[in-house]
Amino acid sequence: MPAARGRLFGLGVGPGDPELLTLKALRLLRGVQVIAYAAPEHGDSFARAIVASWIEGHQREIVIRFPMRPGRPPIAIYDAAAAALAGELDCGHDVALLCQGDPFFYGSFINLFTRLADRYRIEIVPGVSSLTACAAAAALPLVSRDETLAVIPATLDEAELARRLGDADVAAIVKLGRHVAKVRRVLDRLGLIDGAIYIEHATLADQRVAPLACIAPEEAPYFSMALVRRNRSHACRAKSHG
Amino acid sequence: MPAARGRLFGLGVGPGDPELLTLKALRLLRGVQVIAYAAPEHGDSFARAIVASWIEGHQREIVIRFPMRPGRPPIAIYDAAAAALAGELDCGHDVALLCQGDPFFYGSFINLFTRLADRYRIEIVPGVSSLTACAAAAALPLVSRDETLAVIPATLDEAELARRLGDADVAAIVKLGRHVAKVRRVLDRLGLIDGAIYIEHATLADQRVAPLACIAPEEAPYFSMALVRRNRSHACRAKSHG
């Protein structure tokens, strides 16, 4: 009789502060034989760094390396990663795939989930997402009562950004990184730039919160977001606080 | 010299599974002198139940009771609760206000935050929100790549619901409770009902996931949500799974 297949856990490890790991993610992380995570072509994995202090030497690690070019990573990388995970699961090993933030909130894990979900037992462990982490960092209540929230990737083109931002009570502009100039232009035209708060590296030691109007386009790192509320103005003063 | 003022922590305690508490929320919860939370007029607090096993006898508790009538709770309740918290903080006591899910994602905590933020040190500890907990429960990737997400309260009127749902790549309809009939009607008209998944009590033992088309209006409890994706169909079969 073949051994039982292993289980795959999509583990949300939160936005960056290692203390924002959940008790459940910690328990599962410590119980698996194999830990997998994404990393840049050269360099360390952010998701792994978040939980590094909990990883014990005896666990095997699978690193899924992505090129740092903009745009979609090659399908071949996801195919190869899915095959590597499937190999472990077929051998009866439980695997934790570490996902920064939440696995299903713009996570590259989704590309592995869709490849493996019909063949393997997968459990998703939700994590604290960058969305609420950024709101907390900015001390900006996100949504209450009858308010709607629009989550909008900055990668959209200018017309589409304008259309969606123009209609939102509250908007979270994710994937801001290289798109600050475009986003500032659109918000300016809509008269919303003074209501836009910029957050980078939320919950980490180098967290920064500032009015988006004060952020130069070349400053924003990949992990940055803007939160926009109608009828709210943020003067261009204190440029950061921890 | 007067004693230093206490600190107020807005503690996200996650969607319901006690294991989805973060390490940070747990540490702060155990360190405060006073724990505060909302509860119905008669009955237990959901937020307190989530962390009950971690509450030690020596901590004082402040219960903020709300009437279970629909609509906005009276302003007087928030004013009195803010005064009670301020009294503790003025005495130098640290206070943890327990918030189910995330404090800034439709949390009633926001009404206390706005009353106290200019006078006291408040730290928001983000939690796992119902949004990603429901996506995980439904095994439904929420958003990826260039997709936009609209979070829409079911309390909006039919025209506004239709307008916002008609424009969303992915929509999360929150506060579904008493509004199932209206929401089903709108999604039906938009041709989106077959792409709508219903989730109640996500991450709890009595979690239920089913196509929204199979949910009778009187069935939905307060803690329920619908997730809607374009071009996705959920047959009205398995009515629940844990």
Residue from B144, B163, B173 whose CB has the most chain A CBs within 10 Å, to mutate:
B144
Give the SS3 label for residue B170: strand
The answer to whether the Cβ–Cβ distance between A150 and B155 falls below 8 Å is: no
Per DSSP, which regions of A74-207 are E strands?
95-99, 122-125, 149-153, 170-174, 196-200
Which tens digits make up the pLDDT trace of A8-65? 999 999 999 999 999 999 999 999 999 999 999 999 999 999 999 999 888 999 999 9
Q: Are B78 and B66 in contact (CB under 8 A)?
A: no
Residues of A (110-169) whose Cβ lies below 8 Å from B: 110-111, 113-114, 117, 122, 124-129, 131-133, 135-136, 139-153, 155-156, 164, 167
Give the SS3 label for residue A73: coil
Give the SS3 label for residue B188: helix
Residues of A (81-100) whose Cβ lies below 8 Å from B: none
The answer to whether the Cβ–Cβ distance between A72 and B106 falls below 8 Å is: no
Size of interface A-B (CB pairs under 8 A): 172
Which tens digits make up the pLDDT trace of A56-104? 888 999 999 988 776 677 899 999 999 999 999 999 999 999 999 999 9
What's the confidence (pLDDT) of residue B239? 39
What's the confidence (pLDDT) of residue B238? 40
DSSP conformation letters of B7-31: -EEEEE-BSS-GGGSBHHHHHHHHH
Mean pLDDT over all residues of chain B?
92
Look up the ipTM and state it: 0.93
The half-sphere exposure of A41 on its side-chain side, counting CA atoms within 13 A, is 6
Q: Collect all residues of chain A within an 8 Å Cβ-Cβ radius of residue B157.
A: none
DSSP conformation letters of A180-201: HHHHHHHHHHHT-GGGEEEEES
DSSP conformation letters of B73-124: PPHHHHHHHHHHHHHHHHTT--EEEEESB-TTBS-THHHHHHHHTTTS-EEE
**Whether pLDDT at B65 is above 60:** yes
DSSP conformation letters of A3-25: PPPP-EEEEE-BSS-GGGSBHHH
Helix (H) or strand (E) holding A225: strand A224-229
CB within 8 A of A89, min separation 6: which ones? A5, A6, A7, A8, A95, A116, A120
Q: Collect all residues of chain B within an 8 Å Cβ-Cβ radius of residue A75.
A: none
Which tens digits make up the pLDDT trace of A200-232? 999 999 999 999 999 998 889 988 999 999 866
Q: Collect all residues of chain B within an 8 Å Cβ-Cβ radius of residue A116.
A: none
User: In which region does residue A155 sit, left (phi positive, over 0), alpha (psi from -120 to 50) or beta (all else)?
Assistant: alpha
Compare CB distances from A144 to B110, B128, B136 and report the shortest one's residue.
Answer: B110
Compare CB distances from B19 to A27, A107, A135 and report the shortest one's residue.
Answer: A27
